[in-house]
Homo-oligomer: A and B are copies of this chain.
Amino acid sequence: MAGEVLDGVTSDPVRLGWMAGAPPLPEKRILGARADHMRFPMIRWSYSNMRSFCPTVRVAANGDGTPFPRALRSDLGGVRFTPLGADSETTVEDSLLSAFTDGILVLHRGEVVYERWFGVTGPETRHIAFSVTKSFVGTLVQMLVGEGRIDLAVPVTSVIPELDGSGFGSATIGQVLHMTSALDFSEEYGNPNSGIGAYSAALGLTPRPASYTGPHNLWDYLTTVPGAGTHGEQFVYRTPNTDVLAWIITRVTGQPFAEVLSERLWQPLGMLGDADLIVDEIGSPFAGGGLNLRLEDLARFGEALRLGGLGVIPASDVERIRQGGEPERFNKQGYPLLGGWSYGSQWWHAHDNHGCFSARGIHGQTLWIDPVAEMVVARFASHPTAANGANDPHSLPAWRALAEALMA
For this complex, 23 residue pairs linking A to B, each with C-beta atoms less than 8 Å apart, are A19-B282, A22-B219, A22-B250, A22-B251, A23-B217, A23-B219, A23-B282, A23-B284, A24-B282, A24-B283, A29-B282, A31-B281, A32-B281, A33-B216, A51-B51, A51-B57, A51-B58, A52-B55, A52-B57, A53-B55, A56-B56, A63-B273, A274-B274
Q: Mark A277-303, 1 if CB is under 8 A from B, else 0.
A: 001011110000000000000000000
A55 interface neighbour in B22, B54, B282, Cβ under 8 Å: B54
**Chain B residues whose CB sits within 8 angstroms of the CB of A126 once the complex forms:** 58
**Chain B residues whose CB sits within 8 angstroms of the CB of A250 once the complex forms:** 22
- CB nearest neighbor in B for A60: B124
Roughly how many angstroms separate A56 CA and B282 CA in the complex, as a whole number?
18
Cβ of A47 under 8 Å from chain B: no
Cβ of A247 under 8 Å from chain B: yes
> Do A279 and B60 form a contact, CB below 8 Å, given A22-B247, A23-B284, A250-B22?
no
Q: Which of A242-283 contact B (CB under 8 A)?
A: 247, 250-251, 256, 272-274, 279, 281-283
Q: Which of A210-263 contact B (CB under 8 A)?
A: 210, 216-217, 219-220, 247, 250-251, 256
Roughly how many angstroms separate A67 CA and B83 CA in the complex, as a whole number?
53
User: Judging by beta carbons under 8 Å apart, are A56 and B60 in contact?
Assistant: no
Roughly how many angstroms separate A283 CA and B52 CA in the complex, as a whole number?
7
Q: Which of A15-64 contact B (CB under 8 A)?
A: 19, 22-24, 29, 31-33, 49, 51-58, 60, 63
Residue from A56, A210, A284 whose CB has the most chain B CB atoms within 10 Å: A56
Q: Mark A124-138, 1 if CB is under 8 A from B, else 0.
A: 101000000000000
User: Judging by beta carbons under 8 Å apart, are A281 and B55 in contact?
Assistant: no
User: Judging by beta carbons under 8 Å apart, are B19 and A283 in contact?
Assistant: yes
**Chain B residues whose CB sits within 8 angstroms of the CB of A33 once the complex forms:** 216, 281
- CB nearest neighbor in B for A124: B60
Q: Which of A55-90 contact B (CB under 8 A)?
A: 55-58, 60, 63
Roughly how many angstroms separate A60 CA and B294 CA in the complex, as a whole number?
13
Residue from A52, A217, A220, A272 whose CB has the most chain B CB atoms within 10 Å: A52
**Chain B residues whose CB sits within 8 angstroms of the CB of A54 once the complex forms:** 55
Roughly how many angstroms separate A55 CA and B278 CA in the complex, as a whole number?
11
**Chain B residues whose CB sits within 8 angstroms of the CB of A281 once the complex forms:** 31-33
User: Judging by beta carbons under 8 Å apart, are A55 and B51 in contact?
Assistant: yes
User: Judging by beta carbons under 8 Å apart, are B60 and A51 in contact?
Assistant: no
User: Judging by beta carbons under 8 Å apart, are A63 and B60 in contact?
Assistant: no
Shortest beta-carbon contacts, A-B, top 6: A22-B250, A52-B55, A23-B219, A29-B282, A52-B57, A51-B56
Roughly how many angstroms separate A210 CA and B284 CA in the complex, as a whole number?
27
Shortest beta-carbon distance from A27 to chain B in Å:
12
**Chain B residues whose CB sits within 8 angstroms of the CB of A51 once the complex forms:** 51, 55-58
**Chain B residues whose CB sits within 8 angstroms of the CB of A58 once the complex forms:** 51, 126
User: Judging by beta carbons under 8 Å apart, are B32 and A55 in contact?
Assistant: yes
Roughly how many angstroms separate A283 CA and B28 CA in the complex, as a whole number?
12
Shortest beta-carbon distance from A95 to chain B in Å:
31
User: Judging by beta carbons under 8 Å apart, are A31 and B124 in contact?
Assistant: no
**Chain B residues whose CB sits within 8 angstroms of the CB of A273 once the complex forms:** 63
Roughly how many angstroms separate A287 CA and B219 CA in the complex, as a whole number?
35
Shortest beta-carbon distance from A159 to chain B in Å:
11
Q: Which of A172-220 contact B (CB under 8 A)?
A: 210, 216-217, 219-220
Roughly how many angstroms separate A284 CA and B24 CA in the complex, as a whole number?
10
Roughly how many angstroms separate A19 CA and B210 CA in the complex, as a whole number?
26
**Chain B residues whose CB sits within 8 angstroms of the CB of A219 once the complex forms:** 22-23
Roughly how many angstroms separate A361 CA and B267 CA in the complex, as a whole number?
33
Roughly how many angstroms separate A51 CA and B51 CA in the complex, as a whole number?
8
